[in-house]
């Protein structure tokens, strides 16, 4: 038995050493999808991956791909683990991968330097390194539609418009990893200029479901507003704890990773009033989402657990990720005149992306998100976010799009980008005229 196992292993290993044959058809566009359907954050990773895959599959079914080329989506499971993410990257990059959406700050940070050498763009949609918004310094990284820092400035604008910020105390509860700490420098800068006080409440990854100490501190220090940078099991626990200490939930704002159906379904009615930022539309009332339902879900080609999951916050976010990438492919095809493009073409496509209101309507996504327009130097599109509120059963959009405070944030982003490349003498930037 051992011998048999050994020989099987040997054969498989031999195949791996030489490199598995690439079984891609000639006119196809290869889109790797780094998913995490397992691990502690599977709850958020699963709908996102479904939305991502379903949109591309819908394009294949409805339009026969993009510009006549079918899109091949290959999932690779990372379990939110950087090592597996890097492995997935290495395993798929030689198959003609057009772009990576790593969906984890750790993996994004690992891929940013690698991908620019391999000439494959990294599209970390609204996560990862905020500084990557600066196109001159990060030619291969894109963070459309906006960054964590801009998002924070939008949230602070909302607070300012609802009772003012000056002299107030803002509590910031965050997952104690790179992702959660990302907005801290901006928060501290803005607190000085806008005149509010900041109280920080870190939540360790292992303590995600054990937050009573943090919320006891909140009760003691009584901040006027709470902002949360949470993910996974941290979110429902935080909202439950906030409700427990009777913190007014309509003064508790999560970021766009802390406001999904998966988070709040577990909380239910007691989470009523909780706010969260978002940049992608909610629900199924968009023609593109309806197309997904008819062309993919109803034909049984989707991995969603139930039809109702289509249209929930993270599903639509995953779909939006695919929308931006598909649009970039479209732009690249038009620019190059080729059907099958390369990673470098894809980069140009992403850089010249322009999803305005009219284009959104064409795509069947009218009012789905803020327009996204990229340039050589602007890799974030400075998109706006809106706030949504949990009504006990579902999310409702309650504000219009809130523009970020670009004038304050942009110089800080440039500073951060400068800092990132400062200890990397061989870093390849680009010049934008």
Kindly identify the residues of this chain, within the stretch 280-319, that bind other proteins according to CB under 8 A: 303, 305
In angstroms, give the least distance from the CB of 141 to other proteins.
Answer: 13
Sequence-distant contacts of 374-378: CB under 8 A, at least 24 apart: 374/135, 374/142, 374/144, 374/350, 375/135, 375/351, 375/432, 376/135, 376/136, 376/351, 376/430, 376/432, 376/433, 377/134, 377/135, 377/136, 377/432, 378/133, 378/135
Specify the residue, 109 or 363, whose C-beta has the smaller distance to other proteins.
Answer: 109
From 18-26, 341-349, 362-370, 392-400, give the range in contact with other proteins by CB under 8 A. 18-26
From 71-79, 290-298, 333-341, 373-381, give the range in contact with other proteins by CB under 8 A. 71-79
Interface with other proteins includes 63 (CB under 8 A)?
A: no
Residues in region 340-379 near other proteins by CB under 8 A: none
Interface with other proteins includes 42 (CB under 8 A)?
A: yes
Interface with other proteins includes 129 (CB under 8 A)?
A: yes
Interface with other proteins includes 43 (CB under 8 A)?
A: yes
Residues in region 204-223 near other proteins by CB under 8 A: 204-210, 212-214, 216-217, 219-220
CA distance 363 to 288: 7
Helices 148-161 and 406-422, axial angle in degrees (round to 10)? 150
Specify the residue, 131 or 382, whose C-beta has the smaller distance to other proteins.
Answer: 131
Specify the residue, 35 or 153, whose C-beta has the smaller distance to other proteins.
Answer: 35
Q: What are phi and psi of 76, to 5 degrees?
A: -135, 125
Cβ–Cβ under 8 Å, residues 393 and 158: no
Interface with other proteins includes 233 (CB under 8 A)?
A: yes
Please list, residue by residue across 345-360, b when 16 or more beta carbons sit within 10 angstroms of its beta carbon and e when fewer do: bbbbbbbbbebeeebb
Interface with other proteins includes 198 (CB under 8 A)?
A: no
In angstroms, give the least distance from the CB of 1 to other proteins.
Answer: 11
Interface with other proteins includes 12 (CB under 8 A)?
A: yes
Q: What are the distances in angstroms from CA 75 to CA 22, 102, 299? A: 15, 11, 20
3-state secondary structure of 60: helix
Cis peptide before 145 (omega within 30 of 0): yes
For other proteins, the binding residue among 181, 189, 330, 373 (CB under 8 A) is 181
CA distance 230 to 377: 30
Residues in region 132-161 near other proteins by CB under 8 A: none
x/- letters, 75..114, toward other proteins (CB under 8 A): xxx-x-xxx--xx--xx--x----------xx--xx--xx
Specify the residue, 376 or 412, whose C-beta has the smaller distance to other proteins.
Answer: 412
Specify the residue, 247 or 368, whose C-beta has the smaller distance to other proteins.
Answer: 247
Cβ–Cβ under 8 Å, residues 416 and 131: yes
Cβ–Cβ under 8 Å, residues 139 and 430: yes
3-state secondary structure of 36: coil
Interface with other proteins includes 130 (CB under 8 A)?
A: yes
Interface with other proteins includes 202 (CB under 8 A)?
A: yes
Cβ–Cβ under 8 Å, residues 295 and 316: no
In angstroms, give the least distance from the CB of 265 to other proteins.
Answer: 7
In angstroms, give the least distance from the CB of 383 to other proteins.
Answer: 21
Q: What are phi and psi of 201, to 5 degrees?
A: -130, 90
For other proteins, the binding residue among 7, 20, 64, 308 (CB under 8 A) is 20
CA distance 158 to 205: 29
């Amino acid at each position: 038995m051992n011998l048999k196992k050994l020989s099987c292993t040997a054969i498989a290993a031999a195949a791996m050493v030489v490199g598995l044959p690439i079984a891609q058809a000639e006119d196809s566009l290869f889109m790797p999808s780094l998913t995490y359907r397992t691990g502690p954050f599977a709850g958020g990773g699963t709908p996102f991956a479904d939305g991502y895959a379903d949109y591309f599959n819908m394009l294949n079914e409805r339009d026969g791909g993009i510009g006549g080329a079918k899109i091949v989506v290959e999932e690779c499971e990372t379990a939110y683990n950087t090592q597996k993410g890097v492995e997935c990257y290495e395993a798929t990059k030689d198959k003609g991968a057009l772009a990576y959406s790593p969906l984890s700050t750790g993996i994004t940070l690992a891929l940013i330097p690698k991908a620019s050498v391999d000439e494959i763009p990294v599209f970390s949609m609204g996560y990862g390194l905020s500084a990557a918004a600066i196109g001159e310094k990060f030619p291969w990284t894109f963070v459309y539609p906006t960054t964590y820092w801009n998002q924070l400035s939008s949230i602070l604008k909302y607070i300012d418009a609802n009772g003012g910020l000056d002299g107030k105390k803002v509590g910031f509860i965050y997952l104690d990893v790179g992702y959660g700490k990302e907005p801290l420098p901006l928060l501290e800068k803005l607190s000085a200029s806008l005149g509010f006080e900041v109280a920080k409440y870190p939540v360790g990854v292992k303590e995600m479901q054990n937050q009573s100490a943090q919320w006891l501190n909140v009760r003691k220090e009584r901040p006027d507003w709470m902002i949360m940078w949470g993910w996974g099991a941290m979110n429902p626990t935080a909202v439950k704890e906030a409700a427990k200490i009777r913190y007014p939930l309509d003064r508790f704002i999560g970021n766009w990773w802390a406001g999904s159906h998966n988070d709040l379904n577990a909380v239910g009615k007691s989470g009523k009033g909780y706010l969260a930022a978002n940049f992608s539309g909610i629900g199924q009332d968009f023609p593109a989402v309806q197309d997904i339902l008819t062309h993919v879900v109803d034909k049984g080609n989707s991995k969603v657990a139930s039809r109702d999951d289509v249209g929930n916050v993270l599903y639509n976010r995953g779909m939006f990720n695919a929308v931006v990438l598909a649009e970039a492919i479209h732009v690249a095809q038009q620019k190059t005149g080729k059907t099958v493009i390369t990673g470098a073409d894809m980069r140009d496509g992403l850089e010249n992306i322009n999803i305005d209101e009219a284009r959104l309507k064409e795509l069947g996504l009218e009012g789905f998100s803020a327009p996204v327009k990229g340039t050589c130097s602007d890799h974030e599109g400075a998109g706006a976010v809106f706030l949504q509120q949990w009504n006990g059963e579902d999310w409702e959009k309650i504000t219009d799009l809130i523009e970020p405070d670009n004038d304050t944030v942009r110089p800080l982003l440039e500073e951060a980008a400068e800092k990132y490349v400062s200890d990397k003498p061989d870093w390849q930037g680009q010049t934008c005229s």
